[in-house]
Amino acid sequence: MSRMNEREKLLYRVQQFGFMTDDIRLFLNTHPACEEAFCALKYFMDAEKEAKEDYEKRYGALTLEGIDGCRGYEWIDGVWPWEVEE
Amino acid sequence: MWTYEKKLQYPVKIACPNPALAKAIISQFGGPDGELAASMRYLSQRYTMPYKEGIATLTDVGTEELAHMEMICAIVHQLTRDMTPEEIKRHGFAEYYVDHTAALWPQAAGGTPFSATFFQSKGDPITDLHENMAAEQKARTTYDNIIRLTDDPDVLDPIRFLRERELVHFQRFGETLRIVQDRLDSKNYYAFNPAFDYGKRRAEASECRKEYRQDNQKEQNKEKECRPDHQMQMHSCDQTHTLYFGRNAAYDGNTGKPLRNYR
Ligand SMILES: [Fe+2]
């Protein structure tokens, strides 16, 4: 965590909330009637969306929907997930 | 369909390359208990899964395994970046390097290429779910073995995350198995395969299979002539439970002949 740069810290928030939605979703698949889990899913989905927008404002699109109209086609730019920044 | 998100499910950031370790970890890309096999297993099985909880579980776990495959590839890629020929020789990486340089190619640690024989898609939810639960445990053991091979915290962190996910997937497949068994006859789960026998029943009732049914009827009539006990095998699926035992009692398992005619 300490070795993370500013970009990675913002991305980590997306990864944390994204992981919560991934995990709760798996739980709901076998417990579809659990209201508590469903509320938690909605909460973390919103949080993930917000974190994505924060990241995309500064570092570019994570998905095609994240492309900022004013900045042009930025999908090919930025750091790909397996790359280590120098 | 699938869309791509430009992020890993969990961060991978490795400071020190280590080609020897990469050669072991690549097994979780293309090896017998690796993430590629896991993903293909679940994404292949889901088409014949008869229950919605199971379909959703196979789809979402199969998708998550693709994200795990990407994490493993990122680990291998970062462990093999900026190598010198001397390092390649010293780390025992020459055999891999000569065929693939520093590219990612799905193989087991011992060099065996990825193969569809690493997984099964059997078309019976009880069988498939047991396969999946065993697969998650085998992947967990592989991660435990990898953890014993290194003390690099940059590698251990994402590997521990992946190991943890195998346990969660094992749990979810166990729950799916319970859901499937709850919908079957608890006296004999195997009497009826919900992934096949419902379809068989629908086919037998469908208008577009009329011709097939008539042919089938002719076959059955023929059978009737030479096998007076035919009734025993003609029950509908609902009665499979009793039929199952009935057939065993009435027919010789080796020859299929009615027992009372059997000498
Ligand atoms: Fe898994």
State how far the Cα of B26 lies from the Cα of B74, in Å rounded to an integer.
Answer: 10
Residue-wise burial string across B150-164, b where 16 or more C-beta atoms lie within 10 A, e elsewhere: beeebbeebbebbbe
Q: Which of B13, B56, B168 sits opposite A23 (nearest CB)?
A: B168
pLDDT confidence band for B226 (50 / 70 / 90): low
**What are the backbone angles phi and psi of residue B74, rounded to the nearest 5°?**
-65, -40
User: Cβ–Cβ of A82/B78 closer than 8 Å?
Assistant: yes
Please give the single-letter amino acid code of residue A85: E
Do the Cβ atoms of B175 and B56 come closer than 8 Å? Answer: no
Domain limits, chain B: 19-188, 226-263
Which pLDDT value is given to residue B107?
Answer: 98
Asked: is B19-188 a CATH 1.20.1260.10 domain? The reply is yes
Q: CA dist B67 to A39, A81, B165, B218, Å?
A: 25, 11, 12, 53
Q: Cβ of B70 under 8 Å from any chain A Cβ?
A: yes
State how far the Cα of B252 lies from the Cα of B247, in Å rounded to an integer.
Answer: 9
User: Cβ–Cβ of B61/A82 closer than 8 Å?
Assistant: no
Q: Cβ of B7 under 8 Å from any chain A Cβ?
A: yes
State how far the Cα of A8 lies from the Cα of B163, in Å rounded to an integer.
Answer: 23
Nearest residue of chain A to residue B55 (CA atoms) = A29
Q: Which helix (H) or strand (E) holds B176?
A: helix B153-182
Q: Cβ of A5 under 8 Å from any chain B Cβ?
A: no
Partners of B81 on chain A (C-beta within 8 Å) are: 84
Q: Is B107 helix (H, G, I), strand (E, B) or coil?
A: strand
Which pLDDT value is given to residue B252?
Answer: 41
Q: Is B110 helix (H, G, I), strand (E, B) or coil?
A: coil
State how far the Cα of B120 lies from the Cα of B45, in Å rounded to an integer.
Answer: 8
Nearest residue of chain B to residue A12 (CA atoms) = B11
User: Cβ–Cβ of B13/A8 closer than 8 Å?
Assistant: yes
Burial of A51 (0-12, 13-18, 19+ CB in 10 A): buried
Percent of chain B with pLDDT over 70: 85
DSSP B193-259: -TTTHHHHHHHHH-GGGHHHHHHHHHHHHHHHHH-TTGGGG---GGGHHHHHHHHHHHB-TTT--BG
Partners of A78 on chain B (C-beta within 8 Å) are: 6
Handedness of CA B252, B257, B261, B263 (dihedral sign): negative
Percent of chain A with pLDDT over 90: 83
**Per-residue model confidence as pLDDT tens digits over B134-178:** 999 999 999 999 999 999 999 999 999 999 999 999 999 999 999
Q: CA torsion B206→B197→B241→B259, rounded to 10°?
A: 90
Do the Cβ atoms of B172 and A27 come closer than 8 Å? Answer: yes
**Per-residue model confidence as pLDDT tens digits over B175-191:** 999 999 999 999 999 98
Q: Is B31 helix (H, G, I), strand (E, B) or coil?
A: coil
Question: How many other β-carbons are positioned within 10 Å of the β-carbon of residue B183?
Answer: 12
- The chain-wide mean pLDDT, for chain B, equals 87
Query: Complex ipTM, two decimals?
Result: 0.96
CA distance B209 to chain A (A): 35
Return the higher-pLDDT residue of B201 and B128: B128
**Per-residue model confidence as pLDDT tens digits over B53-80:** 999 999 999 999 999 999 999 999 999 9
pLDDT confidence band for A42 (50 / 70 / 90): very high
Distance, CA B262 to ligand 1 centroid (Å)? Answer: 51
pLDDT confidence band for B19 (50 / 70 / 90): very high
Which pLDDT value is given to residue B237?
Answer: 41
pLDDT confidence band for B227 (50 / 70 / 90): low
Residue the block writes with tokens 């609902």: B238
Residue-wise burial string across B20-35, b where 16 or more C-beta atoms lie within 10 A, e elsewhere: ebbbbbbbbbbbbbbb
Please give the single-letter amino acid code of residue B218: K
User: Cβ–Cβ of B168/A15 closer than 8 Å?
Assistant: no
Region A44-49 average pLDDT: 98
Do the Cβ atoms of B8 and B71 come closer than 8 Å? Answer: yes
User: Cβ–Cβ of A22/B64 closer than 8 Å?
Assistant: yes
pLDDT confidence band for B207 (50 / 70 / 90): confident
User: Cβ–Cβ of A29/B168 closer than 8 Å?
Assistant: no
Q: Cβ of B65 under 8 Å from any chain A Cβ?
A: no
Which pLDDT value is given to residue B247?
Answer: 37
CA distance A11 to chain B (A): 8
State how far the Cα of B74 lies from the Cα of B8, in Å rounded to an integer.
Answer: 9
Residues that place a CB less than 5 A from ion ligand 1: B 166, 169
Distance, CA B207 to ligand 1 centroid (Å)? Answer: 42
Which pLDDT value is given to residue A2?
Answer: 55
Which pLDDT value is given to residue A1?
Answer: 46
Q: Is the pLDDT of residue A28 over 60?
A: yes
**What are the backbone angles phi and psi of residue B113, rounded to the nearest 5°?**
-70, 155
User: Cβ–Cβ of A19/B64 closer than 8 Å?
Assistant: no
CA distance A23 to chain B (A): 9
